[in-house]
Structure 1
Amino acid sequence: MTKILRIDTSIKGPYSVSKKLAEKITAKIGGDVTVRDATALPVIDGAWIAAAYTPAADRTPEQKAALALSDELIAELKAADVVVLGSGVYNFGVTGPLKTWIDQICRVGETFKYGENGPVGLVGNKRVIVAYASGGVPVGSAYDLATPYIRQVLGFVGITDITVVAAQGVNVDEAAALANADAQIAALAA
């Protein structure tokens, strides 16, 4: 059975278009689903960084506790076959909760390492479907800072199979934006 990790990152709760798209995408693919609400994740801090850069064998109990959630998030990511990533666009970029999830899962020695020729992703290539929702920022436009960032950071950890399902222009014509996204979802391979 396909293992799906769905990450919800919108602060709009039940009114979130990206969350609704992510739910539809998850239903289309089908499988064993783990849902992670990134709005509940804590931001990393100095203690987290110190713990992350301390060799595992040398970590104090406090450092291990500081990384426990990160370890859990990384395990979820590595266990998934497919990641459905809800991504609203706030001020041209990703949401704060999405950035927080990214900060929690990007760890040297766990999801990437540095080799002779630069960074090497350790997650393994997974299928990622981004549920992109914007009020008026088209995917790939000069104003879209979200999707290039998502592609960059996922590539950094080794994930390059990325599809974007977009409901763009929700504030211009919501019905048309949602119909277009629904057509993209219908065309996805399960």
Structure 2
Amino acid sequence: MNILHIDSAITGDASVSRKLTADIVAKLTAANPEASVTYRDLNEGVPAIDTDWFAAVRMAPENPTPEQQRLIDISDAYLAEVQAADVLVIGLPVYNFTLPAQVKNWLDQIARAGKSFRYTAEGPEGLLKGNRAIIAYSAAGTPMGSEFDHASGYLRFMLGFLGITDVDFVAADRLAMDREAGLARAQEALENLAA
């Protein structure tokens, strides 16, 4: 089993989502001692896509410039990590009712026509089939699945678009209202999670 462990919280050691992703990975590796883990901290910076990225990555020039090749290599590295993973463990802290910008940037880097999805006569088809994702959702005041939770549904949709439809959530939400209850709900979900 290859595990891709992704964190994104800006709060360092105080992060609930970082603790949850670590606990999820620990559970998976305890059940699968031969598992390998690749760690990626998106808080260290994920380049946003822009015109230069489009010209390099999406347009795929036959003879890319050194700068274009650098942009291609960055995007390829993010995508290769996902393609190699059997399980993605993704920290999803909610900021201002949605996912962190660095998670959006990461999704933009890996959502690549012909590589992670393709267009067919029946519509788009995800090419990352067979992968599982476990999302560690944390929010101070946004209940997961509520009308103002614009993080969990979007991430589930994007993963599904890429072919990853086996998605579980371990949610510690409403922490500002009742931290202990939110952490207890997450612990219960973690204990019930299939490893």
| Letter in structure 2 aligned against 1:68 | D
Distance, in Å, in 2 between the alignment partners of 1:132 and 1:91 is 14
Distance, in Å, in 1 between the alignment partners of 2:58 and 2:82 is 20
Deviations 1:12-70 (A, max 9, x none): 11111111100100101112111101112221221111112223645344322111111
Secondary structure of the residue that 1:51 maps to in structure 2?
helix
Give RMSD over aligned pairs. Answer: 1.3
Structure 1 residues 159 and 103: CA distance shift in structure 2, 3 A? same
| 2:170 equivalent among 165, 169, 178 | 165
Q: Note the residue ranges of structure 2 that are not aligned, 5 or more in a row.
A: 30-34
User: Which residue in 2 is equivalent to 1:24?
Assistant: 23
Identity of aligned residues (%): 45
Deviations 1:58-84 (A, max 9, x none): 534432211111101111001001000
Distance, in Å, in 2 between the alignment partners of 1:50 and 1:61 is 13
The aligned runs of 1:2-81 (5 Å cut-off) are 2-30=1-29, 31-40=35-44, 41-55=46-60, 57-81=62-86
Distance, in Å, in 2 between the alignment partners of 1:60 and 1:121 is 30
Distance, in Å, in 1 between the alignment partners of 2:61 and 2:87 is 28
The aligned runs of 1:143-182 (5 Å cut-off) are 143-182=148-187
Contact 1:121 1:155 in 2 (8 A): yes
| 1:133 equivalent among 135, 138, 142 | 138
| Letter in structure 2 aligned against 1:28 | K
Deviations 1:109-160 (A, max 9, x none): 1111111122111122311000000112111111111111001111111110
**Number of residue pairs aligned between Structure 1 and Structure 2:** 189
TM-score computed with the length of structure 2 as normaliser: 0.92
Contact 1:70 1:105 in 2 (8 A): yes
Secondary structure of the residue that 2:133 maps to in structure 1?
strand
